């Protein structure tokens, strides 16, 4: 982390877990466990249908709400889709785009991820842009090449002012939901590489100001070491964000 230049963000990704009626009891457990003086921005990303409940319950605990996906279209005949304007209208402040599960199960490619990031920015929502390599790519020594491509594609057409409102989440696919965390060195190496890619496109100042999160089996035990790395500015947390005590411990671990 480098608090002098950028925000620390701890974001939970609930995926398709819990229900709207479980949010209030969750927040009642979480709130007293969160550090009084908040070392970071705290976000919980839920399915769109649960966002109003999360926004309501999160106000008191100073937990922002985020979506997990958005349509690339502004509006119209796209049954089942949720637009950036609709997310913004209900008060979502963040939205994940390009999560590996969407890339894998819904065929999302880098151009689509870029389009989604852009519609979010246009409506004032912070995109949390996920990138990360597969195990095969890591073993073939293609990690940085692949992740650099994903970052460049995701940021295509986004100017330096908009970049300030983007978050990048480095999530090695082999570490998501598997219990296999990247070592702090592996995670730092790629996050540093991502910042170098951004520096090449936008210059030193904008690159220095972008928050880059690590995601992939981050938990209460390994969070402090990962968050101590100079280019890791927070976490995107799946499984551990469903447990108030674990999630609060990760938030506390960002106070360093």
Q: Which residues are identified as catalytic?
A: 99, 171
Contact between 246 and ligand PEP (CB under 6 A)? no
What is the maximum span of the chain, computed from C-alpha positions, in angstroms?
48
Contact between 226 and ligand PEP (CB under 6 A)? no
Per-residue string for binding with ligand PEP, 149-188, x by CB under 6 A?
A: ----------------------x----xx-----------
- Name the β-bridge partners of 169: 130, 213
Residue 169 C-beta: closest distance to ligand PEP, Å: 7
Residue 245 C-beta: closest distance to ligand PEP, Å: 15
190, 170 Cβ separation under 8 angstroms: yes
Contact between 217 and ligand PEP (CB under 6 A)? yes
Which is nearer to ligand PEP, 27 or 237 (by Cβ)?
237
182, 172 Cβ separation under 8 angstroms: yes
Contacts with 193 (C-beta within 8 Å, 6 or more apart), sequence order: 144, 147, 148
Contact between 45 and ligand PEP (CB under 6 A)? no
Environment class of residue 49 by beta-carbon count within 10 Å: exposed (0-12), middle (13-18) or buried (19+)? Answer: exposed
Residues that bind ligand PEP (CB under 6 A): 13, 171, 176-177, 215-218, 236-240
């Amino acid at each position: 982390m480098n608090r002098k230049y950028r925000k620390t963000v701890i974001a939970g990704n609930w995926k398709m877990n819990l229900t709207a009626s479980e949010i209030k009891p969750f927040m009642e457990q979480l709130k007293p466990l969160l550090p009084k003086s908040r070392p970071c921005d705290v976000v919980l990303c839920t399915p769109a249908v649960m966002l109003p409940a999360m926004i309501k319950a999160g106000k008191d605990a100073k937990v922002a709400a985020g979506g997990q996906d958005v349509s690339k279209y502004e509006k119209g005949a796209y049954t089942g889709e949720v637009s950036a304007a609709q997310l913004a209208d209900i008060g979502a402040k963040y939205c994940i785009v390009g999560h590996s599960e969407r890339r894998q199960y819904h065929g999302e490619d880098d151009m689509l991820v870029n389009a989604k990031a852009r519609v979010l920015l246009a409506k004032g929502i912070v995109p949390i842009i996920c990138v990360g390599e597969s195990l095969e790519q890591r073993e073939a020594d293609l990690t940085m090449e692949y992740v650099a491509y994903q970052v460049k594609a995701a940021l295509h057409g986004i100017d330096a002012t908009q970049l300030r409102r983007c978050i990048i989440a480095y999530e090695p696919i082999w570490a998501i939901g598997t219990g296999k965390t990247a070592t702090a060195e592996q995670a730092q190496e790629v996050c540093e590489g991502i910042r170098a890619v951004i520096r090449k496109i936008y210059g030193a100042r904008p690159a220095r100001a972008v928050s880059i999160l690590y995601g992939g089996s981050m938990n209460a035990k390994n969070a402090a070491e990962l968050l101590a790395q100079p280019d890791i500015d927070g976490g995107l947390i799946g499984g551990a964000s469903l447990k108030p005590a674990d999630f609060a411990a990760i938030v506390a671990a960002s106070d360093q």
